[in-house]
Amino acid sequence: MNNQTRAQNGESADDSDSDFTNEQLTGNIHKIAIVPPNYTGKPKKGHLIFDACFECGNLGRVDYISDFEYDLFIRPDTCNARFRIWFNFTVENVKQEQRVVFNVVNFSKSKSLYREGMSPLRVVFNVVNFSKSKSLYREGMSPLVKSTSRPKWQRIPAKNVFYYRCPEHKRNYVMSFVFCFDVEDDVYQFAYSFPYSYTKLQNYLQILDNRSLDYYDRELLALSVQQRRLDLVTICDPELKNTSEKKRKLVIITARVHPGETPSSYVCQGLIEFLVSPHPIAKVLRENVIFKIIPMLNPDGVFLGNYRCSLMGFDLNRVWQDPSPWAHPELFAAKAQVLSLDKDPSMDLDFFIDIHAHSTMMNGFMYGNIYEDPNRYERQAIFPKLLCSNADDFSMSNTSFNRDAVKAGTGRRTLGGSLDENCNCYTLEVSFFSYQPAGFNHPIPYTEEEYMKLGRNLARTFLDFYKLQNYIVFNPSAAIMPKLNNSAGFSSYRSNNTLTNGNGNNPLLGNNLNNSTNGKKRSPTTMSQQPLKPISSSSMSNHNGNSSSSMSNGSQNSNAATNENKPKFFIDNSLE
């Protein structure tokens, strides 16, 4: 299949390098106990029970390899077998100190993690049907885990994650991670990235609805194929909304067209949360600019636990040129709304930004278009440079401008050629894994709060842009500007009845917003937050008797300095 055909099918050229496309995995597993062959009777403790039959869940099959090793198969996107990246599942009925290795064999991890010298209680999980060979697992990315008694997501240490070609799976890339269960009564949840469900968004927007803010409005733009809401959020001062004395500046933001790219939702929530806050910068932005935000373009795909496609198997970010009202109702409504606002004589549409997450690169960065007009081409470079000056996780070196043929159906490319020439169209990408600020010699893993901070800095950059255009005159005190750089400072501008309680906790995230500073977590303060325990990879050897360090586990040393300062999840001191 050539690149052009792949693009028409909703693929990019690098999205189709696995030959696991003939697997008949059409649904998620539901409370399945994985027992040894020929075993009969009720599952015993240690016979793991897997479940992915919940919102955003994804796990299509589990194969028993041995008492301590399991092959996991990601369920492909509905009606499109080529995309297998996202996973999200739970494990229960564990035995205390039970050690396992999971091999995700159709994505990026393999059952070949069987090691000589592993005790029968050690378990291997292999993901074997990943659909991409390029992966941040090479850079030290690792899956996320939480449990009933420890509800805050943490990354499995990179030294316990291995990414390599597996001979037993046609040399496809496999991701294996080693894990130790330490609380028998806990239910453990594993995910590719921080989940952000359709229900979570609806709950968040309902909180904002209940505040009855005069500068916030939420409307139903359309219904998805499965009758889920496509919300349009408008944030601006009522006087600006109703004025007819001058043309009003307009910014349109969209997110989550690809359902597995959950970081985009956290960035978008951070943007919204800042714009509705009493922060002085937010206030002046509301008084001068209208923000129209579609926070979830693919609600069905999100709900179903797809990675890239909608319910019907379409990559919605490849159909912007000609969306169908019945097959792509979300894109059909979104495009109609954008074009209508662009033609409104009372509006100046200055920005269209579509927020995504990237699976192979670090940092935040942007994609822009190449135009024949050199002035327009140069003008669109301004905003990324301003964002780079505000956000230490944004990279100008990764930012690029192109007219790649396989991206022709994206929102950025399509609207870049359809909207007024003064409109800047971008894709904002943020890494699934980490960012590396200038002067750091190791990457800093993203957290939910770090993603939201990028959203706040995105909002701050709009002020800088309009100041540069002499549209807004605003000279805040020096004490105001740095406060966006850390969540502790920003939280002082939140209303008491918004998203934080008296302890600074976000009830939707379930974590303390002041718990992360410059990528370094503080030590847990309660027993329920105490970290769990990973297995030391140094205690394992491969089939050939070599140390497991010979396998590509991404970055065994790159995160060493960072991990030493973080509460580690499932540290097993007896194996260190």
User: In this predicted model, which residue has the larger pLDDT, 355 or 6?
Assistant: 355
pLDDT at 172: 79
Q: Is residue 50 part of a domain?
A: yes
pLDDT at 442: 87
| Residues 240 and 133 grouped into a single domain | no
pTM higher than the cut 0.95: no
Q: Are 124 and 71 in contact (CB under 8 A)?
A: no
518-560 pLDDT, tens digit per residue, is 433 333 333 233 444 433 333 333 333 333 333 334 333 334 3
Q: Are 92 and 59 in contact (CB under 8 A)?
A: no
Q: Is residue 501 part of a domain?
A: no
User: In this predicted model, which residue has the larger pLDDT, 549 or 101?
Assistant: 101
According to DSSP, the residues that pair with 358 across neighbouring strands are 431
Q: 433: how many CB neighbours lie within 10 A of its CB?
A: 29
Q: Are 283 and 213 in contact (CB under 8 A)?
A: no
| Residues 438 and 292 grouped into a single domain | yes
Q: Is the pLDDT of residue 2 over 80?
A: no
pLDDT (average), residues 470-482: 71
Q: Which residues are catalytic?
A: 429
Q: Is residue 543 part of a domain?
A: no
Provide the strand spans (E) within 256-325.
289-294
CATH of the domain at 272: 3.40.630.10
Q: Which domain holds residue 174?
A: 14-191
From the CA atom positions of the chain, what is the Rg in Å? 24
191-223 pLDDT, tens digit per residue, is 999 999 999 999 999 999 999 999 999 999 999
Inter-helix orientation angle 263-275/448-468, to 10°: 50
255-264 pLDDT, tens digit per residue, is 999 999 999 9
Find the DSSP H helices in 159-279: 198-210, 238-242, 263-275
Share the mean pLDDT of the chain: 80
Q: What are phi and psi of 49, to 5 degrees?
A: -110, 120
User: In this predicted model, which residue has the larger pLDDT, 347 or 406?
Assistant: 347
| Residues 316 and 386 grouped into a single domain | yes
From 487, 506, 538, give the residue that closes a domain: 487
Split into its structural domains, the chain has a count of 2
How far the first Cα of the chain sits from its last, in Å, is: 48
CATH of the domain at 158: 2.60.40.3120
| Residues 183 and 271 grouped into a single domain | no
Q: Is residue 515 part of a domain?
A: no
| Residues 291 and 411 grouped into a single domain | yes
| Residues 226 and 344 grouped into a single domain | yes
Q: What percent of the chain has pLDDT over 90?
A: 60
**Is residue 484 very low, low, confident or very high in pLDDT (cuts 50, 70, 90)?**
low
Q: Is residue 171 part of a domain?
A: yes
CA distances from 216 to 212, 267, 341, 546 (A): 8, 18, 18, 60
pLDDT (average), residues 247-262: 98
Q: Is residue 548 part of a domain?
A: no
d(CA 499, CA 139): 34
| Residues 178 and 290 grouped into a single domain | no
From 487, 516, 548, give the residue that closes a domain: 487
Q: What are phi and psi of 509, to 5 degrees?
A: -90, -25
Q: Is residue 493 part of a domain?
A: no
**Is residue 167 very low, low, confident or very high in pLDDT (cuts 50, 70, 90)?**
confident
Q: Are 76 and 60 in contact (CB under 8 A)?
A: yes
Render 41-101 in DSSP notation, one character per residue: SSPPTTS-EEE--STT-B--EEEEEETTEEEEEPPPBTTBTT-----EEEEES--TTEEEE
Q: Is the pLDDT of residue 487 over 60?
A: no
pLDDT (average), residues 319-334: 98
pLDDT at 372: 87
**Is residue 23 very low, low, confident or very high in pLDDT (cuts 50, 70, 90)?**
low
According to DSSP, the residues that pair with 508 across neighbouring strands are none
